[in-house]
A and B are shown apart, each in its own frame.
Chain A
Amino acid sequence: MSNTLLWYTTRGAGAVSLVLLSAVVVLGILSVLRVQSTSWPRFLTAGLHRNLALMTLVFLALHIITAVVDPFTHLGWLTAVVPFSSYYRTFWLGLGTIAFELLLAIVLTSLVRGFVGQFAWRLVHWLAYASWPIAVVHGAGTGTDAWSAWLFTLQAICVVAVLAAIGYRFIAGNRDPLATARSSFQAAVDRREPK
C-alpha cells in the first residue's frame, strides 16, 4: 500500500468517524428523551445507538492504524495510547488520543454494564459529552483538510446536529413517564417514615 493511499484513508476514515460519533451522540440523547412512535419503538433508538458506537470504534481504529503506519510522519504506536507523546502536532494529536480513550472507556463499560453497576456506568457514560467536542477540536486542529470547504461543511453539520439534540433535551426536560408516579410514591413513603 502506498504512503499516499494510507494518507487519504486516514483522512477519509477520520471524517467518517466524526459523522458516526455525532450520530451516536444524537441517538444517545434521543434515547434519553424516550423518542418513539408506532413504527419506531424505543429499543430501536437504543439498538442503533449501540451498533453505531461499535462501528465508530472500528473506523476510529482504521483512522489510527493508517496514521501510525504511514511512514511519512513516524508517529509510532505510543502516540495512539499516550496523549501528547507525539513529536508531530503534539497538542492536536494528543486531543485525538484522549477522545479515543474516552470513547473506548464508554464502550467497554457499556459492554460490561452488569458488572460495573448502573451508577458507575452512567458516570462513565457522561464522558461522551467530553469525547465528542474533543474529537471535533482534534479534527479542526490537526486535520490536513480542516479548513477545506467539504470537511468544514461536514463538521458544521455534525456540530449543529449535536447542539440541536442537546438543546431539545433541555427544552423537553424530563420525559420519564413514571416520574410523577415515582415522586408520589416517594412522598407517600416519606410520610409513613417513623418520626
Chain B
Amino acid sequence: METNDATQDRVRARDEAMRLLNRLTTGAAVSAVLGVGLFGAVSAYTIPGTKTTSATASASTTSTSSSSTSTSTSSGLQSSTTPVTGSSSSGVAVSGGS
C-alpha cells in the first residue's frame, strides 16, 4: 500500500508540474505579445521617426473669358507665377531601420 501511495504522490507531483509548465508557457506567450506592443510603443515614443514637409507645389486656377470662348481649368498643376527653385530636402520620411 505504501508503494502505491508513493507512486500516486509522484503522479500527482508530475501532473502539477505539467500544469505549471503549461501556465508558464501561456504566460510567457501572452507576455511576449504584450511586450511587442509595449516595446513598440516605447520605441515609438522615444524615436518616432521624422516627418518633414518642405517641398510644395502650387496649383493655380486660370480662367480666361472672352465674348466667344470660355476656358476654365480647376485642377492639375499650372505654371506658377513664382519661379520654382531646386530643393535639397526630401519629402516625407516616417519609417526605416530595424
CB contacts under 8 Å to B, within A33-68, are: 38-41, 43-44, 47-48, 51-52, 55, 59, 62-63, 67
Total A-B contacts with CB atoms under 8 angstroms apart: 108
Indicate if the CB atoms of B42 and A150 lie closer than 8 Å: yes
For the complex, give the distance between the alpha carbons of A47 and B25 in Å: 9
What's the Cα separation between A118 and B98 when bound, in Å?
37
**A12-B38, A13-B36, A73-B96 known; A44 vs B44 contact (CB < 8 Å):** no
Q: Which residues of B contact A73 (CB under 8 A)?
A: 96-98
Q: Of B17, B20, B21, B96, which contacts A7 at CB under 8 A?
A: B96
Query: Interface size bucket, B side?
Result: 20 to 34
A145: chain B residues within 8 A (beta carbon): 43, 46-47
Closest B residue to A144 using CB positions: B97
Contact with A along B12-24 (1 / 0, CB 8 A): 0110010011001
Q: Is A31 an interface residue (CB 8 A)?
A: no
Contact-residue bracket for chain A: 35 or more
A148 part of interface (Cβ distance < 8 Å): yes
Is B59 at the interface (CB under 8 A from chain A)?
no
Report A1-53 residues with CB < 8 Å from chain B CB.
2-4, 6-16, 19-20, 23, 38-41, 43-44, 47-48, 51-52
Given contacts A51-B25, A55-B28, A143-B98, contact A8 B46 (CB under 8 A): no
A contacts with B: majority SS: helix
A111 to chain B, nearest CB (A): 17
* Chain A CB within 8 A of B49 CB: yes
From B28, B29, B39, contact of A11 by CB (8 A):
B39
Name B's A-contacting residues (CB within 8 A).
13-14, 17, 20-21, 24-25, 28-29, 32, 35-44, 46-49, 93-98
